[in-house]
Amino acid sequence: MKVLIIGGVAAGTKAAAKLKRELPGADITIFTREKEISYAGCGLPYLIGGSVEDEAELIVNTPEKFAALTGVAVETGCEAAALDPTAKTISIRRSPDGPAEAVGYDRAVIAVGASPLRPDAAGVELPGVFTLRTPADASAIRGWAEREDIRRAVVVGGGFIGLEVAENLKTRGIQVTLLEASSQLLPGIFDPEMADYLRRHLVKNGFRVITGAKAEAFLGDSRITAVRTGARILPADLAVLSIGIRPNTDFLAGSGIAMEKGAIVVDRRMRTNLPDVYAAGDCALVTNRITGKPQYSPMGSSANLEGRTLARVIAGEEAAYPGVLGTGIVRLPGLNCGRTGLSEAQAVGEGYDVVTALAVTDDKAHYYPGAATFITKLIADRQSHRLLGAQVFGPGSVDKMIDIAATGIAAGMILDDFDGLDLAYAPPFSTAIHPLVQAVYVLLNKLSGAMVSMTPAEYAAGKAQGRRVIDVSRAPAVPGATYVALDKVRGPIDGIGADEPLLLVCTKGRRAYLLQRKLAAFGYTDTVVLEGSTSFCEVKAHAAGTSVPPEEVTRVKGLGFLRDKNTADRFNGRVITRNGKITAGESRAISEAAERFGSGEIAMTSRLTVEIQGVPFDSIEPMREFLMQAGLETGGTGSKVRPVVSCKGTTCQYGLIDTFSLSEEIHERFYHGYSHVKLPHKFKIAVGGCPNNCVKPDLNDLGIIGQRVPEPNLELCRGCKVCQIEAACPIKVAKMADGKIAVDSDACNHCGRCLGKCPFKVFERSTNGYRIYIGGRWGKKVAQGRCLDRVFTDRAEVLDVVEKAILLFREQGITGERFADTVARLGFENVQEQLLSNELLARKQDNISSQKHLVGGATC
């Protein structure tokens, strides 16, 4: 039997290897256009991040090794040009410009995979814009990130691969923006409320997430500098496209093979409609195991199983591939996300009488070190109790939850079958009642009426409107809610009516359920438990005009919202400018935010941040979300590196340096890069373009001032009676002495205004540089900063000094003191010596990881 397999990687090589074992005498040849036939495609994002160190680690088999191990002939660099089912031939082109040669077959396997989609957008071919499909792609992205010292990246597409790429770029210290055209991340994979939780988690971990927007153009001349959407421009040194894939099936046009949207239609035996032609992998459709309908499910796991099944069928076995459940999992910083089966929307679309429950459970014994939680959403049919789907989030072993659920769904188990299931238990691994079984119990309680609850999706849609929020957490946790201590409830609760509509919340939902059972026994008739409670939902119970609890005032202050002292519940939100300027689009977004969420008024702070006035407490999160969509962030408070303040030296007639560029680099590297680092007090940085000191760099903890140091050629001086240099010097330190011009180098402020003023070219040459001041401050106690002895000419060295100053302050500062106090206590010469050496950088990791300054001293 002569078998031609077109394509390798997962399905093609698996089919070839299995078939050769089943039929050792078969003549099997793989034709593939790639140089590698078998690589771990799912590991590509981790090569970018560095978890996989070398591209070679992802190569499962080289063509030579595979051929030697299996006896299958392998020809790389070959592309299929056409399929003739009547003649039973496939036309193969062995080089891009070479002739097509018809190769006959007895059986043919199409496993050509798919290629990444590229948007029809200007600039998509610019250097720095990548797709990800092969190890070479991953190496190219990683090389670009390392070689070009990338600071900002845009990942276009919020599916599994896009999220994995985003996570791995973040591990490299790159600021990542996720851009998804759909209204949510992982569209069609997770239900909207689950996707929203995921979005909130990513934002809290420093990602910028923009949904409902497409990449319309990639900007730049010789390389990418930004991505333009319909509403904004996103600065970017790197863009990775992950907007989907398209089956590589163009060569099958005219063959008569059945396809849907480019994917080959096959039956459960992986047969196409053409005799003796089979298909598997990312170029073929498969069957949904629940609905029985065809679906496109390009996964490496199913591709291997399809290839194995296909080989058994060709070998004459009565094999069939039962189909997929859409099982998938992704790792993100601090959160693993898995799913299997139907989503709620899919189940409704299939006509099921859908019921869901969301449960927050311990993922192992609560007392065991490292214990955390699982957030589990189960989807089932109300009438039959059949489990239809599961979605699970958590920092731990989400895979075991999904695997158990997938097994149950595949076996046709109903919820009741999980009751008493004998699953592995020991404190390091699980809870005595398995977390998935606990989630099943929640859903069964809901079905039986033992628990009356509201889903997070219903709560987000406003179904709790008019209900009084009862907080039954171990300690009060919901501002404005009525707190009830569960262990003290012995009868009806004073002040809460028996017929009053109540929403019961706690941390996870369990205590709320227990309170509901107690209240039912005491005659309360309208209580509803909020599923997931505060662990999952953003619960709001604060009444307008009432005082906000002190702990909440402190919390939102960390987000950049300072309470307006004239009100009980209104705040002024600081919108950060990266370098002292904002775009017109950002300005419009700030104005709209002020009108929608605040008083309509905007103030400018002395630090060049924009402050939106009069934001009600309950509008803080909506406003932050609105601003984030425009690429803006709030913050700039606390004992941390503060947003940089910059003059407009880039465009000012006296400006000597590019202040906008330098300030933005400081913002990304130290405001964002050190956002998790607590300092003894706030640390303010100012960048001035010249010695005019418009933004007072010498009155900040650290200030940088542009310098232009003249290098006069005094041999050319003619001792003019009216010296143009003496006349041009704004601070009068250039003076004629003994018939020659002289400049007091200690008094010169290096403004550069003398340059080019002498007709005899005495003052033509100069050196551009930076003066660094340390230990300044203004406010309650003013301190004049002192400049380091050197004028720095290397911008990278300036940035290193900034980092060393921050590290010195963290390591040697005392909690509550300003950097000026630290410099005075240690001595300027001592501090200068440390800033000019590299010992602080050598101790960086130990310094940052140490538990220091947990409180800090900043009060504003």
Question: H-type helices in 541-685, by residue range?
Answer: 550-557, 584-597, 620-629, 659-666
Tell me the residue length of the chain: 860
| Tokens encoding 257 | 């093979």
Q: Give the Cβ contact number of residue 806 at 10 Å.
A: 26
Check if the beta carbon of residue 82 is closer than 8 Å to that of residue 71: no
Token duo for residue 633: 């962030």
Pairing label, strands 27-32, 2-6: parallel
Burial class (CB in 10 A: 0-12, 13-18, 19+), 253: exposed
754 assigned to active site: no
Both tokens assigned to 391: 């979605």
Q: How far apart are CA 286 and CA 263, in angstroms?
A: 10
Alpha helical stretches, state H, 27-159? 44-49, 63-70, 135-147
C-alpha to C-alpha distance for 373 and 395, rounded to whole angstroms: 7
Parallel, antiparallel or unpaired: strands 286-287 and 294-295: antiparallel
Cβ atoms 73, 30 nearer than 8 A: yes
Residue 797 is inside which H or E element, if any? helix 795-812
Residue 763 CA to its chain's centroid (Å): 52
The answer to whether the CB of 372 falls within 8 A of the CB of 437 is no
Cβ atoms of residues 247 and 262 within 8 Å: yes
Would you list the DSSP string of 198-267?
HHHHHHHTT-EEEES----EEE-SSS--EEE-SS-EEE-SEEEE-S-EEES-GGGTTS---EETTEEP--
Separation CA 587–CA 375 (nearest Å): 39
φ, ψ (nearest 5 deg) of residue 802: -60, -45
CA atoms of 417 and 98, how far apart (whole Å)? 61
Other beta carbons within 10 Å of 562: 16
Cβ–Cβ < 8 Å for 313, 20: no
Question: How far is it, in rounded angstroms, from Cα 278 to Cα 265?
Answer: 10
Instruction: State both tokens at 69.
Output: 């191990």
CB 62 within 8 A of CB 91: no
| Strand boundaries in 621-725, DSSP class E | 645-646, 685-688, 702-710
If one counts every other C-beta atom within 10 angstroms of the C-beta of residue 63, the result is 22
Name the catalytic one among 42, 720, 748, 787. 42
C-alpha distances in angstroms, 364 versus 361, 399, 420, 426, 668?
9, 14, 18, 8, 38
User: What's the CA gap between 297 and 601, in Å, rounded?
Assistant: 51
Catalytic residues: 42
